[in-house]
Chain A
Amino acid sequence: MNNVKNRAKPFEFMQCISILKSTAKRAKNLRELRDLIATVSEESIFHHTCQYFLKGRIREYTNDFAHWVGESLEESALAEQLSSIDPYEFKSISELRTAILTVIDNYLENFPEPREALAGEEFYFNETITIVFPAHIRARNLAEFLIAIRYIDGASIYYHFHEARTRLGGGIDDFSKWFDEVLGEQELAKRLWAIDPFMHSIEGIREHIVEIVNEKVKKDMEITGVEE
Chain B
Amino acid sequence: MIAKYAGIAPKGDLILLQKLGEIFREKSFLHINSTRTGGGVAEILQRMIPILRDLGIDARWEIIEGDERFFDITKKIHNALQGNFEAITDEMWQYHYEVNKRNAKKLNLEADAVLIHDPQPAPLIEFKVQDYSESDNVPWLWRCHIDVSNPVQEVCDYLRQYCEKYDAAIFSVSKFARSMSIDEFIIPPSIDPLSEKNRDLTEDEIRETLEKYKIPADRPIMLQVSRFDRFKDPIGVIKAYRIVKKYNDCILILAGSPASDDPEGEIVLNEVREYASNDPDIHILLLPPFSDRDINALQRSATVVLQKSLKEGFGLTVSEAMWKGKPVIGGATGGIPLQIVHGFTGFLVHTSEGAAFRARQFLNNPEMVKKMGERGKDYIRNNFLITRQVRDYLSVWYAIKNNEKSVLEL
Main secondary structure of the interface of B (DSSP, over half): mixed
- Which of chain A's residues has its CB closest to B178's CB? A24
Contact B395 A131 (CB under 8 A): yes
Q: How far is the CA of A126 from the CA of B173 in the complex (A)?
A: 11
Contact A126 B15 (CB under 8 A): no
Among B13, B15, B179, B379, the residue within 8 A (CB) of A136 is B15
- Which stretch, A3-11, A98-106, A151-159, touches the partner chain B? A151-159
- CB contacts (< 8 Å) of B333 on chain A: these are 120
Is B102 positioned at the interface, with any CB of A under 8 Å from its CB? no
- Which stretch, B34-42, B255-263, B283-291, B397-405, touches the partner chain A? B397-405
- CB contacts (< 8 Å) of B396 on chain A: these are 19
- CB-CB under 8 A for A129 and B410, given A17-B16, A22-B186: no
Contact A130 B12 (CB under 8 A): no
- CB contacts (< 8 Å) of B344 on chain A: these are 57
Is B268 positioned at the interface, with any CB of A under 8 Å from its CB? no
Q: How far is the CA of A30 from the CA of B187 in the complex (A)?
A: 27
Among A43, A124, A133, A154, the residue within 8 A (CB) of B15 is A133
Among B10, B341, B395, the residue within 8 A (CB) of A19 is B395
Contact B408 A132 (CB under 8 A): yes
Interface string of B371-386 (1 = CB under 8 A from A): 0000000010010000
Q: How far is the CA of A153 from the CA of B180 in the complex (A)?
A: 35
- How many residues of B are counted as interface, with CB atoms below 8 angstroms from the partner's CB atoms? 38
Is A56 positioned at the interface, with any CB of B under 8 Å from its CB? yes
Contact B180 A120 (CB under 8 A): no
Q: How far is the CA of A114 from the CA of B81 in the complex (A)?
A: 32
Contact A132 B175 (CB under 8 A): no
Q: How far is the CA of A127 from the CA of B399 in the complex (A)?
A: 14
Is B136 positioned at the interface, with any CB of A under 8 Å from its CB? no
Is A49 positioned at the interface, with any CB of B under 8 Å from its CB? no
- Which residues of B approach A to under 8 Å, CB–CB? 10-13, 15-16, 19, 149, 171, 174-175, 177-180, 183-187, 333, 341, 344, 379, 382, 391-392, 395-396, 398-399, 404-410
13 A–B contact pairs at CB < 8 A?
A24-B180, A43-B406, A122-B175, A124-B174, A126-B186, A129-B404, A131-B398, A131-B410, A132-B410, A133-B15, A133-B19, A134-B15, A152-B11
User: Known pairs A134-B410, A155-B12. 5 more at Cβ < 8 A?
Assistant: A19-B187, A22-B186, A24-B184, A120-B175, A131-B408
